[in-house]
């Protein structure tokens, strides 16, 4: 009985390792594909997340094309610094030619849910200041309808209960993200079970609530290019 359990447990661990390696390979391929979108001596907006971290580690291949970077999070800034890239403030850059970021979910209209890493506000600011937004994902993130991934909302702490109640009224289940404070010193409510039939309308409605900094829907400013890796090839939507 014990031997049988050990074999089953070993099989599960092997499956997890293989799946992780396959997922990483997808991220590597789509991050490499994004390098082709960077023109000579550009200021690049850089998002956050595991796929973006791979992209940053690949940037050395096109170092001569990168004039400077505008970062969307403290963690991204640290990684860019470690890799020897100049990081400037958005006010210095003005309009950014290109912004590279990932997503937690994306549909074929290039509308996104972002904020799993908690940097949604700064990501949305940089995206809205960019001429071209390149979103890089693996095929597990592509959905027909947004909302399976909990919708993050950055909230001023004073408004937590008020915003949570508003989400309950919409038939959703808000959950405070434990032990997490954003780079802007706010909290995040992760909203489960939100019925997102009209992303643009919902994005506006939530953002209009007093106490909301922003929510993780990127539908008013969607991606311009959606790069999707299935492990074998990278497709462009």
Annotated catalytic residues are: 123
Per-residue DSSP letter, 75 = H
Beta carbons of 98 and 130 less than 8 angstroms apart: yes
SS (H, E, C) 16-29: HHHHHHHHHHHHHH
Query: 195: Cβ–Cβ under 8 A, 6 or more apart, which residues?
Result: 147, 170, 171, 172
Phi then psi for 126, rounded to 5 degrees?
A: -70, -40
Strand order in the sheet with 112-113: 105-106, 112-113, 217-218
Comparing C-alpha atoms, which of 3, 29, 17, 8 is closest to residue 231? 29
Neighbours of 90 (CB within 10 A): 17
Tell me the CA distances in angstroms from 203 to 34, 105, 123, 194, one per residue in order.
27, 15, 15, 12
């Amino acid at each position: 009985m014990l031997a049988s359990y050990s074999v089953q447990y070993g099989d599960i661990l092997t499956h997890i390792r293989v799946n992780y390696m396959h997922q990483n390979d997808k991220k590597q391929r789509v991050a490499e594909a994004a390098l082709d979108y960077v023109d000579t001596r550009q200021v690049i907006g850089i998002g956050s997340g595991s796929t973006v971290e791979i992209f940053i580690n690949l940037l050395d291949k096109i170092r001569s094309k990168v004039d400077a970077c505008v970062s969307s999070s403290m963690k991204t800034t640290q990684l860019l610094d470690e890799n020897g890239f100049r990081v400037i403030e958005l006010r210095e850059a003005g309009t950014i030619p290109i912004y590279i970021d990932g997503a937690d979910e994306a549909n074929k209209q290039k509308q996104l849910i972002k904020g799993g890493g908690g940097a949604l506000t700064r990501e949305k600011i940089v995206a809205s200041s960019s001429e071209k937004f390149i979103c890089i994902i693996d095929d597990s993130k592509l959905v027909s309808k947004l909302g399976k991934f909990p919708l993050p909302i950055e909230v001023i702490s004073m408004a937590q209960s008020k915003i949570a109640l508003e989400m309950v009224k919409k038939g959703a289940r808000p959950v405070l993200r434990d032990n997490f404070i954003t780079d802007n010193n706010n909290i995040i409510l992760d909203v489960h079970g939100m019925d997102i039939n009209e992303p643009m309308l919902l994005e506006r409605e939530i953002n209009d609530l007093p106490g909301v900094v922003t929510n993780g829907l990127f539908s008013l400013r969607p991606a311009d290019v959606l790069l999707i890796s299935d492990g074998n090839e990278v497709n462009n939507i």
